[in-house]
Structure 1
Amino acid sequence: MHDQKETLPLLAMTALGVVFGDIGTSPLYTLSACLSVMSLQPDAANLQGILSLIFWTLVLVVAVKYAWVIMRASNHGEGGIMALTALASHATGHSGRLRWWILSIGLLGAALFYGDGVITPAISVLSAMEGMEVASPAWKPLVIPLALGIIIGLFLVQRRGTAAIGHLFGPSMLVWFLLLFGSGLTWIAADPQILLALNPWFALHFIGMHGFGGLAILGAVVLAVTGAEALYADMGHFGARPIRMAWYFLVLPALTVNYLGQGALLEIHPSAIQNPFFRLFPAWATLPMVVISGIATVIASQAVISGAYSATRQALLLGYLPRLTIIHTSAAERGQIYLPGLNGLLMVAVIAVILWFRSSDALSFAYGTAVTGTMMLTTVLVFFVARHSWKWPLWKAGLFCGFFILLDGIFFGANLMKFMEGGWFPLVVGLLVFTVMSTWRRGREILARKLYPEAIPVEAFLAGITPTEPIRVSGTAVYLTVRDQGIPHTLLHNLKHNKVLHERVIILTIKFEEEPRILPADRVTVRDYGQGIYRLTARYGFMEQPDIPEILQSVGSSGFYWSPSDTTYFVSRQRVIPAANASLALWRARLFAVMLRFSANATDFFRLPPNQVMELGDVVELSREAVSGASSLGKGG
């Protein structure tokens, strides 16, 4: 293992390309969006007030809240709102009502992330392409076609993975941040008075001077911290220290200097208000900067897409989403995955957003509601971790979390003022995702109760086995079941239809725990019931991908005989019939039935050999009554 001091700068460099792409491209549109909210003139008073708001938002929200405090909430090294939810739930114990509220808060926060994930690629790429208008107004018609081309290309290359070019992301973003710093510093030197904006009094004076309108501008100011959640979400990839190092020593200074440079430019040349970022550079550098900013926004978009993949996998492993096809695009990088279904949905959504809003200024009205909502819910969850895990006294946890809930609430309220102009979009996306997640979770609970009302104890089953009945056939049968006790219904169905029992029967339960990874020594437990019947329970974390043949192989190496070639895997697949008197509302029961139908089969998800799988089906009426319908037996994978 390398010495951490040696690898710290290298990890910080790599983190630049994954963690800071979103927040690093915010200078492309943030100041312009702030001035456009109230059609403000770029005079000294307005600029110093807005820049002061931007700077202190960066300091309070990112430097203090996320980098200093929230990144302490490590779930065995992992971060992100799903990991934080698991941490808060575990820290507070398992009292039913409080646990339900914590899970709901975390689920809603995770759902809002997808609203942000749709808008980030759209606004980033659009704002970069709009730099062409600075070079020549005649190129304006090319902005949207080029933006669409970049987005489509970006999503189409996802199936190939990013491992091959991922090592270039860090150096590319290093160049980007150095350009941000250098271009801003040039204009600060021309107008040093802009440094007065670092005084928080100017922020307070601006709010006081503009009143209600000043609060409305906060809805645009928050664009400066979009992507702050990535500091915590990507903590598992790099560790807290490299991310903090990159933030404090490079990203925060570069962003601050660039925003101040844009302010200095506008004080000297108010006519640059249309696109102050690109006018920081000489005319000859405009097109090169369009290319460079295009690369930076593609990297930022890639980070958001990869984050959506990761969050989706965590959600489905924790039981909040149906099984989806997951393709690993790199043999070396465990986190390099591709989800074809999600990729297609995201691409269509981003294209629709670009065609609907058509400019980064218009999109800035839609941006922010999801981000600030997630920030506020994250603060609520941190309160429970601070109280129950960190053992903070109530006054300390209440003071810290209360201050940031108030701050996040002000930002969220400011963004709600943009509701009709587009703020509704990410909230609608978040609400849809939350509905899907909560419906799937609830539907699976009801389905489990219908399918397994009373499990037959293994001991009672063994008591009915004699030397002659049922007939024992050679080979191994592996029955997958969600229950960790009793006889699986798939075994009973197979016995009923085929009248035989394999000489070796393995009842296998895979459990996903509310922690990222499980130590190999704690992975599998084996119970031998005798007469060739075994129960295996395999535990996985929400960052891990199960591999059943690998599980059986690891058990085989400890003296348990297992032959891959003579093994048959029995899996169940349900078809739901929604009923008018269902425990779910009828429309949610229908939604659950559709999700169940399109859920990826167990053969692919658990990496089973397709020609060794027997699939048994159940038809279930999702009503309050007992299970109706029949079972069918079929070969397949």
Structure 2
Amino acid sequence: MQKNELQSSVTGQASSVEAASQSMRALMLGAIGVVYGDIGTSPLYTVKEIFDPHDGVALNHANLIGAISVIIWALILVVTLKYVVLVLRADNNGEGGSLALAALAAMGAKKNGRSGKILLLAGVLGATFFYGDGVITPAISVLGAVEGLGLVAPSLGQYVVPVSVLVIAVLFFVQRLGTGTVGRYFGPLIALWFGVLAIVGVVNIASAPSILEALNPAHAISFLMHRGWALFFVVGAIVLALTGAEALYADLGHFGRRPIQWAWMSLVFPALALNYLGQGALLLRDVSAIENPFYRLFPSYMVIPVLLLATMAAIIASQAVISGAYSITKQAMQLGYLPRMRITYTSAKESGQIYIAAINWMLMAGVMAAMVGFGSSSALASAYGIAVTMTMLITSVLLYFVMREQWQWPVWMAWLVCTPLVLVDAVLVLGCLIKFFDGGWFPLALACGLFFLMRVWAQGRHQLVSRIHQEGVDLEQFVERIDPQHYYRCPRTAVYPVADATTVPHALLHNMKHNSVLHERNVVLNVVFHDVPWVPMQRRIEVQPLGHGFWRIVLNFGFMNRPDVPQALELAYSHGLTVSLFETTYFLSRDNVVAAAHSSAWQRLCSNLFAYMNRNASNVASFFRLPANAIVEIGTQVRI
């Protein structure tokens, strides 16, 4: 008997280990397909851009060794050491991205009595730059791949932009299937892509093994030191090899830390390093290959198959920033920096896998505009790095506060680690800013516009809540003075979702004034989103009885929680209040915001913009998952 039990226990443990192993492999494959597609397509254009005539780097043996060495060591220091080893550890309860990192840093600052507002604003700014990356990455990746048509037949060059636009349209239309589904199909293709990168790299290295000298960091240092002030022009091109590093942190919530780390160490980094070394070896043998060193790695009969694979890889490359943009948008909405948008959850197992249609179509429009406006990957390369490097710099600064406040590192240790990271990022930013007038203005303008809108929304919401509080009637005094006998008591529950739970809801006052009705149970509901990703169920609800059939309830959610209000209200049963799904009506106040008469022209502009955003925000009912057949909406006018 004991022997059978032991065998069953061992069998069960083995099955559990096998299931965990299969899950890890699936997540690694998904991470390869979604997270690493962006950085995986950098070999298409990076080396060519470094030796662009405008950068002033002569194509000779020493510069080739040095440039490839800089790329390899940049991947080691920036991507491996900074992001894969350090930044991925700074997960905010499993979530990543600028806003999650800023919220983590701000929490530590608040513990020591320092305001975290500046840190949160830094995270918002980093998020806006990530959106800029979300526009440019798909454009340059797809254009860079489709430009291979010119190698097949020069006459096909005129079709590069139309074909690229068509490819982007297909990519954005399949997003509604969800990150998990997309990653499941994209993973094997990107794994094949990295395999091809590695194999063709090894073949070309074998024909010119002297390129392996690039593994010595002394060549990278020498190459950079000999550039002088021209260093910044070269850096603006080298940064192209690093694009996608920030996306792997933003996509942390989709796949988890270990699958992303293992995928990088076991496949992605070795394949990238071998391919860059292979391109260097090719150029050592034939400098004329600089016209397109990636495609010249292959024999002519393989160009078309590789072109097709590269196009597929470029399509997939865009997935990292697109799915990252969804995550950051949800975080921004629930932290109060963006208006409500409809969120579709695409996985029953992974709550981080979401789809936001409004962001999807806005990104698609931006990508297509960038493709048509710039016309080529080389033109977009000038615009590409600024958004990425600014986000990297903000991440390094925020990481210092996380090290100090959350990880409790000594000051000297945090400075020792973060100072080199900040200096490297600052050099990368300056290298990209030099190309401001060649296209670098585009992501900066986009980021500044988004930051302005997010600030208008956040300040508008603050002013709206303040105005409601100033003009409202104190809830507790109202309940004390009310005479329930003067009103017909409807034998149901009325729930009044409000932004300020200390004042009487406008919808309640209107209901009493026009209908002379007071429900038997009246719930003044306030939903609060905290600057943590998840709030556990035991802290979900706070119930305060006020008397005369009134309750004040606060529901607590994290910025990655799914705000299901009816489900959360079921927890009130343990506090002595039953909120029955079939006996509850939700009274919503739709605030019609207008600018105050005495306000300045700038204030009226911001107020009118906020009012427009407020009118077009996603419906409260759908955002909080309220039953559509149990809602009464009452309009009120508020001047701010």
TM-score bucket of the superposed structures, by smaller chain: over 0.9
Q: Aligned partners of 2:330 and 2:139: how far apart in 1? A: 23
1:239 and 1:148 map into 2 onto residues whose CA distance is 32
Equivalent-residue separation in structure 2 for 1:209 and 1:289 (angstroms): 36
Partner of 2:452: 435
What SS does structure 2 have at the residue aligned with 1:485? coil
RMSD: 2.1
Instruction: Determine helix, strand or coil for the equivalent of 2:470.
Output: coil
User: How many angstroms does 1:234 deviate by?
Assistant: 2.2
Summarize deviations over 1:471-509 as a string: whole Å, max 9, x none. 211211110012243433332232222221111111211
Aligned equivalent of 1:226: 243
Q: Aligned letter for 2:545?
A: D
Q: In 1, are the aligned partners of 2:492 and 2:521 still within 8 Å (CA)?
A: yes
Q: Distance in 2 between matches of 1:8 and 1:327?
A: 25
Query: What residue number does 1:190 align with?
Result: 207
Counterpart position of 2:61: 44
Alignment check: 8 A CA contact 1:42 1:267 kept = no
Q: Distance in 1 between matches of 2:89 and 2:515?
A: 56
Counterpart for residue 198 of structure 2: 181
SS at match of 1:468: helix
Q: Against the structure 1 CA distance between its residues 156 and 8, is the aligned structure 2 distance closer, same or farther, given a 3 Å change threshold?
A: closer
Partner-residue secondary structure (3-state), 1:517: coil
1:88 aligns with 2:105: yes
Quick check: 33-42 or 319-328, which moved more? 33-42
Deviation at 1:402, TM superposition (A): 1.5
Alpha-carbon separation, structure 2, partners of 1:85 and 1:209: 38
Partner Cα distance (1:309, 1:241) in 2: 21
Change (3 A) 1:309 1:467: closer
AA aligned opposite 1:300: A
For 2:3, the equivalent position in structure 1 comes to none
2:175 to 158, 181, 186: 158
Letter aligned with residue 275 of structure 2: N
Within 5 Å, which residues of 2 pair with 1:458-469?
A: 458-469=475-486
Mean Cα deviation higher: 130-139 or 370-379: 130-139
Corresponding residue of 1:612:
630
What is the CA-CA distance between 1:168 and the residue it aligns to? 2.0
Structure 2 residue 278 is the aligned partner of structure 1 residue 265: no
Match among 155, 158, 165 for residue 138 of structure 1:
155
What per-residue deviation string (whole Å, max 9, x for no partner) do you get for residues 162-215 of structure 1? 544431222221111111110111000100001111222222222222211122
Q: 1:380 to 1:572 in 2, by over 3 A?
A: same
Asked if structure 2 preserves the Cα contact closer than 8 Å seen for 1:112 and 1:430, the reply is yes
2:137 to 117, 120, 134: 120
Q: Secondary structure at the match of 2:226?
A: helix
Say yes or no: does 1:29 pair with 2:45.
yes
Q: Is residue 514 of structure 1 aligned with residue 537 of structure 2?
A: no
Name the counterpart of 2:547: 530
Q: 2-side partners of 1:593 and 1:543: how far apart?
A: 26
CA contact (8 A) 2:179 2:323 kept: no
What is the rounded CA distance, in whole Å, between the counterparts of 2:635 and 2:89 in structure 1?
Answer: 46
Matches within 5 A, 1:205-604: 205-453=222-470, 456-556=473-573, 560-579=577-596, 581-582=598-599, 585-604=603-622
**One-letter code of the match for 1:417?**
I
Is the Cα–Cα contact under 8 Å of residues 476 and 502 in structure 2 kept in the other structure?
no
**TM-score for both structures, normalised by structure 1:** 0.93
Please tell me whether residue 15 in structure 1 is matched to residue 31 in structure 2.
yes
Structure 2 counterpart of 1:147: 164
In structure 1, the residue matched to 2:8 is none
Bigger Cα displacement from structure 2, 363-372 vs 227-236: 227-236
**Correspondence for 2:77:** 60
Aligned residues: 622
CA distance in 2, matches of 1:429, 1:476: 47
Q: Which moved more, 1:114-123 or 1:62-71?
A: 62-71
Give the percent of matched residue pairs that are identical in Structure 1 and Structure 2: 46
Instruction: Find the aligned partners of 1:453 and 1:152 in 2 and give their Cα distance.
Output: 49
2:304 counterpart letter in structure 1: L
Q: CA deviation at 1:97?
A: 6.7
Do the aligned partners of 1:122 and 1:350 also contact (CA within 8 Å) in 2?
yes
Deviation at 1:102, TM superposition (A): 0.8
Structure 2 letter corresponding to 1:28: L
Q: 435-444 or 158-167, which moves further after superposition?
A: 158-167
Distance in 2, Cα, partners of 1:100 & 1:333: 30
> Aligned letter for 1:567?
T
Task: Check conservation: 1:207, 1:215, Cα contact below 8 A.
Answer: no
Partner of 2:11: none
Q: Unaligned regions of 5+ residues in structure 1, if any? A: 623-637
Does the C-alpha gap of structure 1 residues 503 and 33 become closer, same or farther in structure 2, counting only changes over 3 Å? same
Residues 555/47 of structure 1: CA separation in 2 closer, same or farther (3 Å cut): same
Deviation at 1:94, TM superposition (A): 6.2
More displaced stretch, 405-414 vs 304-313: 304-313
Q: Given the alignment, which residue of 161, 165, 168 partners 2:185?
A: 168
TM-aligned CA deviation for residue 467 of structure 1 = 4.8
Question: Comparing 205-214 with 246-255, which one deviates more in the overlay?
Answer: 205-214
Match of 1:632 in 2: none
CA contact 1:569–1:614 (8 Å) conserved in 2: yes
Q: Distance in 2 between matches of 1:119 and 1:471?
A: 61
Distance in 1 (CA, whole Å) between partners of 2:141 and 2:570 is 47
CA deviation after TM superposition for structure 1 residue 381, in Å:
0.7
Structure 1 window deviating more from structure 2 (456-465 vs 42-51): it is 456-465
Amino acid at match of 2:127: A
**Does the 8 Å CA contact 1:22/1:226 hold for their aligned counterparts?**
yes
> Residues 266 and 130 (structure 1 numbering): CA distance in 2 closer, same or farther, change over 3 Å?
same
Q: TM-score, normalised by structure 2?
A: 0.93
Distance 1:467 1:450 in 2: 28
Asked whether the 8 Å contact 1:134–1:279 carries over to 2, the reply is no
The CA distance in 2 between the partners of 1:240 and 1:338, in whole Å, is 21
Instruction: Report the CA distance between 1:573 and its aligned residue.
Output: 1.4
Q: CA deviation at 1:2?
A: 4.5
Paired amino acid for 1:84: L
Q: 1:582 touches 1:589 (CA, 8 Å); kept in 2? A: no
The amino acid that maps onto 1:265 is L
Q: d(CA) in 2 for partners of 1:413 and 1:11?
A: 36
- Residues 270-302 of structure 1 deviation map (CA, whole Å, 9 limit, x = unaligned): 111111111111111111111111111111212
- CA separation in 2, counterparts of 1:177 and 1:442? 46
